[in-house]
Amino acid sequence: MGDIKRHVDTWSWIVMFITSVLFVVALFLKGLSHDLSLEAGVFLVSLKLIMMAYKHSVIAAELTVRLDDVQAALTRLEGLLQPRHSFEAKEGSPDKSSKPVSPAQGDR
């Protein structure tokens, strides 16, 4: 139940409570008639919207965790590649004594 409280806000609980009370009142006042079917439809639509909001909240929390994991992995990879790039930049820098290679010669 603690997990649901984290994802469903107070207003959703209020809507569920009021809709449930109105449904029970309609059940006793109208009996089993066509109007009860209308009340049941309203009740089910309200519950469906709240269930969808709950599902989206859970999915958003999972996506946040996954994105945090991806961000941590990218940061770790950047940290591993950073010294290599700085080393390659130092090694690859041309010195004044080296002779440039012409495009016709290519890498042999």
Dihedral (CA of 69, 72, 78, 80) sign: negative
Q: Please state the three-class secondary structure of 2-47 as a single string.
A: HHHHHHCCHHHHHHHHHHHHHHHHHHHHHCCCHHHHHHHHHHHHHH
Contact assessment for residue 40 and residue 23, using Cβ atoms and an 8 Å cutoff: yes
Residue with tokens 């591993």: 80
For position 69, what pLDDT does the model report?
Answer: 95
Q: Encode pLDDT of 18-76 as tens digits.
A: 878 877 887 777 776 767 777 778 778 878 888 888 888 889 989 999 999 999 999 99
- Single pTM value for the model: 0.51
